[in-house]
Amino acid sequence: MTSDQKTSFPNMLQALYDNSPIGVCVIENERFLMVNKQFESITGIPAEQMLSSVTIDILLTCFNKRDRKKLLSLLKGTRKSQLESSILNHIGAHKSIRVVTNTIEYPTGPIAIAYFLDITSLQKSQEELQTRSVELEAQIAIANILVHPGTFEEKVKQVLKVLAQVANSDIAALRVPDEIHNGLRMVAAAVTESKAFAPAPLLPYNEGLAGQAFLTGKPVVTNNYPSHPLAMPQVIDTGLQSVAVLPIKVGNEIRGVLHLNSWKHNTYTKETMKHISGVADAIGALLENARLTEAEHERSYELLNANQILEAQAADLARSNADLEQFAYVASHDLQEPLRVVSNYVQLLANKYQNQLDTDAHEFIQYALGASKQMYDLINDLLSYSQIGHADNPLEIINVESAILQAISNLEIAIENSGASITYGKIPKVSANYVQITQVIQNLLSNALKFQGADPPRIHIEVTSLENRWRFSFSDNGIGIEPRFHERIFMIFQRLHSRSQYAGTGVGLPICKKIIERHGGSIWVESIPDSGSVFHFTLPK
């Protein structure tokens, strides 16, 4: 063949025909006259096989019954429009094709030319696009529902409505486990108006498709409900055809099932199930949200209750404290005067009748004087205790070391008498009331001196810096305190010894506690009998 011949017009046409991306076949009298390579590839039938066949039946086997007829009428020219069909070709591949034909009249009779266009990938991407856009629409609708206010049931119902549309369903329902009634309870359902069918309010756990999906955690789908082994007779009677049940999961936990019913055949294709699974996730999120909100409500309700009780108790306490303080103040203040009169007169009695009274009488008078002194001390301490909250005691930056030195100087005689040594480390400045802090320090030091053990008192003051407060620690080598009394000693008038053993009224530590707490700190003791004590208190930084 010359180069001219090679590039001649008929040759070019032949090459076009051979290499065309469109499958072409020429048919005369229901027999193949010509087929090109693409036609072979689409149908999966070798060219020789087609060309040697006496009919085109071999091609027809690729089509379903309905499309076979359409193809034949296209080839005969009795049908003009094109055909789109899904075929199963001879090598087992599913393909989507578009068929266009034209018929040419020859003197020998008509010749049909069929063009087969492989639109499999086109269709796939179209379907994909369709899926995406349906999914997107559903997601937008659901997101809208979720962000708008409404009760959980209302929202679920709206989501189900969207779902019923997306999945071409007549019924969409949500069921959750109900432990009281031992079954899957319907929370909400969207039912199309065309079918008057009420889904059962409660389904036993182990019955039907819903039960299976719930127990296995896997979707159960049928497009031929009556033939499904788990179909229920009363539901079959309704004429239901397609059912899909999806488990609703939050993490690994199955929280319920999404139930879809349709009276049409083949409703739940793979594509549809893909759309639905996204909605199932959204409902899972809703369920979780509802559970959290409920738990939160319960918790906040409990908190509110507890808070109200606490507030009421605090108000009661404040009222009774105020009453008590008022009483203590009035009593101690008003008692001072008659007490002074009593002790003055007893003293007068002792002086005036010194020579006329016998030793017993003098002893009684001494008792009376001692008792009134004790009562005077008690009243005085009670008065100072009740005044802690009342007095005008402003907070300022104070040098605690000065307060320590002041307290030591106030206790000079007791320190000298006991031979005590008092040491201290680095002492910070704090925001406090100088007079009151001096009183605390003095009370603690005076106790450490008073409750000394066999050796002379050794007292050390140490300050530790904590995150947002200072901790002051007063350690001594005194008699110590049994752990069971560690709290009691901070209560008013509580003492562990008789007055003859150790002087005092039992108000010193309660005063310290009241002052420290008023400053926003706390006070406590660590101690073992015979091993000394450490009194700690904290003050905010």
Q: CA-based Rg of the chain, rounded to a whole angstrom?
A: 50
Question: Applying CB under 6 A, does 457 fall inside the site for ligand ADP?
Answer: no
SS (H, E, C) 488-531: HHHCCCCCCCCCCCCCCCCCHHHHHHHHHHHCCCCEEEEECCCC
Q: Does 85 bind ligand ADP (CB under 6 A)?
A: no
Among 208, 247, 256, 506, binds ligand ADP (CB under 6 A): 506
Choose, by CB under 6 A, the member of 27, 114, 489, 516 that binds ligand ADP.
489
Neighbours of 300 (CB within 10 A): 11
**Sign of the alpha-carbon torsion through 369, 373, 378, 383:** positive
With respect to ligand ADP, which residue has the nearer C-beta, 286 or 382? 382
User: What whole-number distance in Å separates Cα of residue 61 and Cα of residue 71?
Assistant: 12
Beta carbon of residue 407, minimum distance to ligand ADP (angstroms, whole number):
14
Query: Minimum distance from CB of 529 to ligand ADP (Å)?
Result: 9
Q: Scan residues 386-445 and list those touching ligand ADP (CB under 6 A).
A: 443
Name the residue with tokens 């397609």: 242
Q: C-beta of 496: minimal distance to ligand ADP in Å? A: 3
508 lies in the site for ligand ADP, by CB under 6 A? yes
Rounded to a whole number of angstroms, the minimum distance from the CB of residue 370 to ligand ADP is 17
Check residue 451 for interaction with ligand ADP (CB under 6 A).
yes
Could you tell me which stretch among 15-23, 291-299, 326-334, 493-501 binds ligand ADP (CB under 6 A)? Answer: 493-501
Nearer to ligand ADP, 74 or 444 (CB): 444
Whose Cβ is closer to ligand ADP: residue 96's or residue 447's? Answer: 447
Shortest distance in whole angstroms from residue 480 CB to ligand ADP? 6
Answer yes or no whether residue 448 interacts with ligand ADP by CB under 6 A: yes
- Residue 332 has a CB neighbour count (10 Å cut-off) of 20
Sole binder of ligand ADP in the list 218, 390, 497, 541 (CB under 6 A): 497
Tokens of 120: 């499999």
Taking the complex as a whole, the smallest distance from the CB of residue 426 to ligand ADP amounts, in Å, to: 23
Q: Which of 39, 385, 476, 539 binds ligand ADP (CB under 6 A)?
A: 476
Q: Quick one: which of 481, 515, 516, 523 contacts ligand ADP (CB under 6 A)?
A: 481
Site for ligand ADP in 510-539 (CB under 6 A): 510, 533
Please tell me the number of Cα atoms within 13 Å of 181 on its side-chain side: 12
Fill in the per-residue mask, 43 to 72: x = in contact with ligand ADP (CB under 6 A), - = not in contact: ------------------------------
Q: Count other Cβ atoms within 10 Å, centred on residue 103.
A: 16
Q: Does 505 bind ligand ADP (CB under 6 A)?
A: yes
Of 387, 405, 336, give the one whose Cα is nearest residue 511: 387
Beta pairing, strands 421-424 & 458-465: parallel
Q: Which listed range, 59-67, 76-84, 404-412, 494-502, lies at the site for ligand ADP (CB under 6 A)?
A: 494-502
The reply on whether position 112 binds ligand ADP by CB under 6 A is no
Q: Which stretch binds ligand ADP (CB under 6 A): 69-77, 82-90, 93-101, 497-505?
A: 497-505
Of 183 and 510, CB closest to ligand ADP: 510
What's the min distance (Å) between Cβ of 373 and ligand ADP?
15
CB of 330 to ligand ADP, least distance (A): 23
Phi-psi region of 124 (alpha: psi -120 to 50; beta: other; left: phi over 0): alpha
Strands (E), 213-313: 220-222, 242-250, 253-262
Q: How far is the CB of 526 from ligand ADP (least distance, A)?
A: 11
d(CA 442, CA 450): 12
Task: Enter the tokens of residue 477.
Answer: 């080598």
* Cβ burial 126-153 (10 Å sphere, 16+ → b, else e): eeeeeeeebbeebbebbeebeeeeeebe
Report, in Å, the least distance between residue 478 CB and ligand ADP. Answer: 4
Distance CA 213, CA 317 (A): 58
Nearest distance from C-beta of residue 492 to ligand ADP, angstroms: 8
Which C-beta is closer to ligand ADP: that of 115 or that of 451?
451
Pairing outcome for strands 533-540 and 458-465: unpaired
Question: What's the closest the beta carbon of residue 458 comes to ligand ADP, in angstroms?
Answer: 12
Residues 145-184 that bind ligand ADP (CB under 6 A): none
Tokens of 95: 């393909």
Please enumerate in sequence order all residues whose Cβ is within 8 A of that of 200, keeping only pairs 6 or more positions apart, or say none: 186
Q: How many binding residues for ligand ADP (CB under 6 A)? A: 21
What is d(CA 453, CA 313) in angstroms, rounded to the nearest whole number? 42
Cβ neighbors of 455 (< 8 A, separation 6 or more) are: 477
Alpha-carbon gap, residue 265 to 242, rounded angstroms: 6
The distance of Cα 261 from the centroid of its chain, to the nearest Å, equals 34
Closer CB to ligand ADP, 241 or 442, in the complex = 442
Q: Contact residues for ligand ADP (CB under 6 A)?
A: 443, 447-448, 451, 476, 478-481, 489, 495-497, 504-510, 533
